[in-house]
Amino acid sequence: MLPSILAPIVGFVIVFGVLVLFHEAGHFIAAKLAGVTVEEFGFGYPPRLLNLWRGRGFIVVNHKKLIIDHRRVRLPDGLKAGTLVRYQYETDDKGQHYLTHIEVVDPKGPPVAGASYVEQFDAGTRYTLNAIPFGGFVKMLGEEDPSAPGSLASKRWLVRFGVLVAGPLMNLLLAILLFSAIFLIGWDEGLPGPVQVRAVAPNSPAERAGIQEGDLVLSIDGMQVQSPLELSEKTKARVGMPVTLYIQRGEERLSIRLVPREHPPQNEGAMGVQISYSKFQRVRYPLWQAIPLGFQTAAITVLAMVQGVIWMIQGIIAPDVSGPITIARAAGEAVRSGLVSLLNLIAFLSINLCILNLIPFPGLDGGRLLFVIIEALRGGRRIAPEREGLVHLIGVAILLGFMLLISYYDIVRWISGQPILPQ
């Protein structure tokens, strides 16, 4: 088991890494399918550690598409669409043309036989490993420059809409897959019966009364208990008053009296014990049931989160926003609790990320989608890219400030011992 100080760090890297990597993979796949030039797909965030490999690219010269295989040809510096070049290529037995040599020609110099201008250029996606191990990023050509051939901004609005929405949709797909995996793997579900003491806090009423780890609590004040929640609720109703617990220890049955505390220390209960079910059964589903249940659970979670956002806007419920520190705490608890808890947390946060990213705020995918929708409503007339870029830059600055504010309240919540994210 990981030390308590390492668990939040390891958990945060795993959770945030998976969430962002899937999100960016959605943008990446959609961009590739749409013919957008993807310059780099980074694992983690810069600074760059390694260039892992480079995918095939292509160049269009004289209306001929030539494949760029970086094992066959070295590209000169300054190569881009509009550059004057001299080149050579070969054709394989499948009729595909491969670039074998290319050099940049000075258009102001003397004429060069066979020189032609590059009509379109894609060097191939560079895959990199970066130092900060949090997810990844996709760098597309000219995200706000429609003059660059093959850029995202040069594509029609419907294509850009698809590329932008693909990231949040990939997070939704991830949640469905993880929920389905949970139903497939299964989990231990507690059975009604005596409640087992898992740990006893030092100097607590339970320790002073002689309760030991492994004891089974059969009843409290003559009332039978069938679950940890039931014992906890009955105890809270009797804080400050003497109670009698009927305990089974091996073959021996004991009657123990103690007084539950009204104000226990942080992270301790009124009696000072950690409790759980004493008997469990494994619950799992076959694949053909797990997948529909995964879809159903994801749909219920989406509806619940959207309803929660609406209620917060209407003032029905108080805003409850958590930042990276609270997520790290929740991730640490999930790592210590086991695989199912970790998968459940990632699925929950993945849906959360999907919904938040679709909010029409500048800097988020939803903000960019809003500009695309406005363009569609205006009959294809888009807002000037430089203006749109400035709006998104301001939005990112606001979001960063908001994240700092949330992080401050995360720290306050942590210090005060308030509960972390639901799991």
CATH number for the domain spanning 266: value is 2.30.42.10
Q: Is residue 219 part of a domain?
A: yes
**229 and 311 belong to one structural domain:** no
Largest pairwise CA distance in the chain? 104
What average pLDDT values come out for the chain (423 residues) when binned by 10 residues?
Answer: 66 85 93 91 88 92 93 90 92 92 90 88 91 82 78 89 95 97 91 91 92 93 92 91 92 92 84 90 93 96 89 74 75 83 93 92 90 89 84 87 80 66 43
Residues 15 and 154 in one domain: yes
Position 167 in a domain: no
Scan for tokens 């009332």, then name that residue: 223
Q: Final residue of a domain: which of 262, 283, 304?
A: 283
- Kindly state whether residues 254 and 366 are assigned to the same domain: no
Q: Give the span between the Cα atoms of 85 and 105, in whole angstroms.
A: 5
Name residue, tokens 């993945």.
350
Residues 300 and 273 both lie in one domain: no
Residue 172 lies in a domain: no
Judge residue 248's burial from the number of C-beta atoms within 10 Å of its C-beta, 0-12 exposed, 13-18 middle, 19 or more buried.
middle
Helices 157-185, 339-357: inter-axial angle, 10-degree rounding: 160
Number of domains in the chain: 3
Q: Which helix (H) or strand (E) holds 153?
A: none
| Token couple for 241 | 């008053």
Note whether residue 422 is domain-resident: no
**Is 319 found in the same domain as 227?**
no
Of the three residues 283, 312, 343, the one that is the final residue of a domain is 283
Q: Of 162, 177, 201, which one is at a domain's C-terminal end?
A: 162
Q: Which two tokens stand for residue 382?
A: 């888009």
Task: Tell me: do 277 and 305 sit in the same domain.
Answer: no
- Together in a domain, 31 and 131: yes
What is the per-residue pLDDT for 416? Answer: 64
Q: Beta-carbon neighbour count of residue 65 at 10 Å?
A: 13
Q: Residue 413: phi, psi to the nearest 5?
A: -60, -40
pLDDT at 60: 93
Which tokens belong to 44? 């983690």
Note whether 378 and 346 are same-domain residues: yes
Per-residue pLDDT, 4: 60
Asked whether residue 15 is assigned to any structural domain, the reply reads: yes
Is residue 118 assigned to a domain? yes
Same domain, 410 and 306: yes
Same domain, 294 and 276: no
The Cα 381–Cα 390 span in angstroms is 18
Sign, Cα dihedral of 289, 293, 296, 298: negative
Residue 143 and residue 243 in one domain: no
pLDDT value, residue 267: 73
332 near 147, Cβ under 8 Å?
A: no
- CB-based contacts of 294: which residues, under 8 Å, 6+ apart? 176, 177, 178, 179, 180, 181, 182, 183
Same structural domain, 139 and 32: yes
The answer as to whether 402 is a domain residue is yes
The domain of 277 spans: 189-283
Integer Cα distance of 100 and 118 in angstroms: 15
Domain assignment of residue 178, yes or no:
no
Q: Quote the CA–CA distance of 138 and 388 in Å, as a whole number.
A: 19
